[in-house]
Amino acid sequence: MKTIAQNKKAFHDYEILDRLEAGIALAGSEVKSIRAGRISLKDSFVEVHGGEAFLLRCHISPYEQAGIFNHEPERKRKLLLHGREIHRLDQKVKERGFSIVPLQVYFSDKGKIKVEIALVRGKREYEKKQKLKERDIRREMDRDVQRFRERKK
């Protein structure tokens, strides 16, 4: 599994409750552009309409060699999921106010481009600050342990 792009902001802004792997319907020029690493998941999300899931606001840069056959950079892209998975996600989003966001885009073992999506709940501001504080404390402790080990040698 080779990761192409990650949505780092999603890990900071949301609490991840459930993860799913989905295929994505792409045009030829989009595949070439993704293989070149020209994709951004920043501010993208998933919506369900009419029993189908769509990836919105995902920016895939135009492929230079495609000429007039190029794609729109932020078009609506269909996600390939089973009907029961789509129905379950749609029910949770409607009932409890959750959201669906993409976490990463990667190549599967067979060379197919896959999207890892997640059912998420937004973090409160104090939760984000607490997480940053814990990370800083952990980092400081690791530094102290490293200094202690160096002195002991």
- pLDDT of 82 above 90: yes
- pLDDT of 101 above 90: yes
pLDDT at 124 (0 to 100): 83
Beta-carbon contacts of 51 under 8 Å, excluding residues fewer than 6 positions away, are: 83, 86, 87
- Is the pTM higher than 0.95? The answer reads no
User: Cα–Cα distance between 141 and 86 in angstroms, integer?
Assistant: 44
User: Cα–Cα distance between 44 and 46 in angstroms, integer?
Assistant: 7
CA atoms in the 13 A half-sphere facing the CB of 7 = 23
Q: What is the pLDDT of residues 103-150, one digit of tens each?
A: 999 998 888 999 999 999 988 888 888 888 999 999 999 999 999 888
Confidence of residue 87 (pLDDT cuts 50, 70, 90): very high
- For the chain, give every domain's residue range: 2-122, 124-153
* Residues 99/45, Cβ–Cβ less than 8 Å: yes
Report domain 2-122's class: mainly beta
Beta-carbon contacts of 75 under 8 Å, excluding residues fewer than 6 positions away, are: none
